[in-house]
Each structure stands twice: as C-alpha cells, then as structure tokens.
Homo-oligomer: A and B are copies of this chain.
Amino acid sequence: MPDVGIQGGRRGITAAAVPALVDKAREGDPRSVGRLVSLVEDESPLLPELTRILAPHAGNARIIGLTGSPGVGKSTSTNALIGELRKRGQRVAVLAVDPSSPFSGGALLGDRIRMGDHVLDPGVFIRSMAARGHLGGLAWTTPQALRVLDAAGFDVVLVETVGVGQSEVEVAGQADTTIVLLAPGMGDGIQAAKAGILEIGDLYVVNKADREGADKVRRDLRSMLGLAERRDGAWKPPVLKTTASTGEGVEEVVDAIEQHGAWLRESGELHKRRVRRARGEIETLALTALRRRWGLVGEGDRLDELARAVVAGETDPYAAADRLL
C-alpha cells in the first residue's frame, strides 16, 4: 500500500523541510516529487512557501493535455505516448486528474497497473489526483501540481482528464497543447459539440482506428472543425488516427505535438497562453483567500449575518455584497 507511506510522509512535512524536499525532487527522486504533489492535493498551508521556492525553476516543461470521454482509450494512449516520448529522450510526468472522484488512492494504483510498461522507468513519473479539496477543486490544484512536475525537471507533463464537463475544460486549459481523444461508436460528434470540445483541441486523435466507423468520425470532425472561422496564421488542428493498443499512429501524434509546440513559440501564442493561465491562477488564489476571509471574520460569520438580513427582507443581495466589500 504505497499510499500509507505517502500519508505518513505528508504529516511529517514542516516548512523547514520544504527546500530540501524540492532539491531532492529536482534531483529526480520520485518519492519527493510525490510528496510535493500530496502537499498540493491536501491544500497544505505550506503551499505559498512551496510556490515561492518552485517558481524560479518552472516554465520549462511542455504541458500536454489529454482529454476524452470515458472509453475512448485515454490510459492506453497515455501509455503509448509515454513510450514514444521516451524513445525521443524526454523525461515524462503524467498527472491524471479525476473531477468526479474524491479519492485518489485507488485510481493511483489502477493507473500504475494500466500504465505498467513504465512503472520501473526512472524517466517516468505517474500520479493521479482527485477533487478532494474544498478550496476550489481541480481548477485550484492542477496548476500547482503542474508547477511541481515542471520544476522537478520533466521535459513533458501530460495532464489526463475525463472530458465531460466544465471542470475538465478548465483543466485542459492548463495545457500548452490540448489533445482531444475520440473513438468510433460513441456518438462522439454530438458529445464533442455539447462539451465545447471543438473549441479546446489543438490536436484531435481518433483512437481505435481499427474499428468500424473511425474514418467517419474523422470526416465528421474535420468538417465540423472546418466550419469554425480561423484567423490568418492561426493553428489548424489536425485530426489524426491511432490504435494506441498497438502503437499505430502514435509517432505521428508526437510529431504533431512538436509541430504545435514550434507554432506556439513562433506565433507568440505560448507566452499569451501562459500569461492567461497565470492570470487565472492569481485570480483563483485571490478569490479563495477572500472567501476564506469572509467565512470567518471577527467574532461571527459576516456572510451568514448578511444572508439572514436578506432573507428577513432587511436588505437585498446587491446591497449586502456591497457591504461585504
């Protein structure tokens, strides 16, 4: 039970121990990396200090988002992508985020088994994270966990999410390059349109290409993407095909990731995206600090008092919000 060890480790961490832990993580010690991610997942009070120490070392990793409905083959694809990236000499970290689960222990073990090819490879780090916390969910924790993996020196960080709702779209927004995975026979066209997935993909991959209907999914997707207006010089998301279980097509996906990376740098879009993300993170941290402050100010709960006054008809919500500020 690896989680027991991690739990014990979490409790033992003090502010004074953080710099040494960061040093060890940067030297490639997977256990230290795991403990730092646990600090994020647990919403530790040490996070401001940790962030201050990590920030100068971050900004070098390529963040790749991988999203898709359940059953399209995300884990198999992640496994195959790791293999191809390793062939090219890249150190790879995987952060699998599960917005619907309050627990990560089980998923962690599950992922380790599914991504079994790479468990013993010191150039690969795999970690699941769940929406355990109360501060702001995965939109709050994901950027901080990515900073840990980035600062730890991984060349590529893959963020894997289940692409079915708003929070997944937000998580995908943390990536430099977002890959949307689809598969035949899942009504994906409709799902894609519903979840706003047509707006978030930099790369579309139709997995399970050996199954009937793969070409139709690809055609439909291309025509839907073709309808979207794009500016001159804008990136045109390619639609690729893979059979992740055999590795077929995976090389082309990694090539496309690299092409997109080059475009991001040359177009100035990489900097724009990173500023946008930093903006979102600062805003989330500031709002979280405020919510905490409003929940417990002075001797009473100020917000609760105002809410009671609204229900009693003594004030209205806008006036109450004004007084809160």
Asked if B167 contacts A307 (CB within 8 A), the reply is no
Identify which of A19-27, A51-59, A86-94, A108-116 touches chain B. Answer: A51-59
Asked if A283 contacts B311 (CB within 8 A), the reply is no
Asked if B325 contacts A286 (CB within 8 A), the reply is yes
Q: How far is the CA of A90 from the CA of B144 in the complex (A)?
A: 52
Q: Which residue of B lies closest to A279 (CB)?
A: B307
Q: Which residues of B contact A278 (CB under 8 A)?
A: 306-308, 310-311, 317, 320
Asked if B317 contacts A194 (CB within 8 A), the reply is no
Copy number in the complex reads: 2
Q: How large is the interface on A (under 10, 10 to 19, 20 to 34, 35 or more residues)?
A: 35 or more
The answer, yes or no, to whether A222 is at the interface (CB within 8 Å) is no
The answer, yes or no, to whether A268 is at the interface (CB within 8 Å) is no
Are A47 and B165 CB-contacts (below 8 A) given A282-B324, A311-B275? Answer: no
Asked if B276 contacts A307 (CB within 8 A), the reply is yes
Q: Which residues of B contact A119 (CB under 8 A)?
A: none
> Within the complex, what minimum Cβ distance (angstroms) separates A229 from chain B?
16
- From the candidates B55, B290, B310, name the one contacting A316 in the complex (CB within 8 A): B55
Q: Which residues of B contact A167 (CB under 8 A)?
A: 166
Q: Report A56-81 CB contacts with B as 1/0, cut-off 8 Å.
A: 10010000000000000000000000
The answer, yes or no, to whether A48 is at the interface (CB within 8 Å) is yes
Asked if A317 contacts B282 (CB within 8 A), the reply is yes
> Within the complex, what minimum Cβ distance (angstroms) separates A166 from chain B?
6
Give me 18 other A-B pairs in contact (C-beta within 8 A), A55-B316, A282-B303, A282-B324 excluded: A48-B319, A51-B317, A51-B318, A52-B319, A55-B310, A55-B317, A56-B313, A274-B311, A278-B308, A278-B311, A278-B320, A279-B307, A282-B307, A283-B291, A283-B324, A285-B317, A287-B291, A289-B322
Q: Which residues of A contact B (CB under 8 A)?
A: 47-48, 51-52, 54-56, 59, 100, 143, 164-167, 194, 271, 274-276, 278-279, 281-283, 285-287, 289-291, 294, 303-304, 306-308, 310-311, 313, 315-322, 324-325
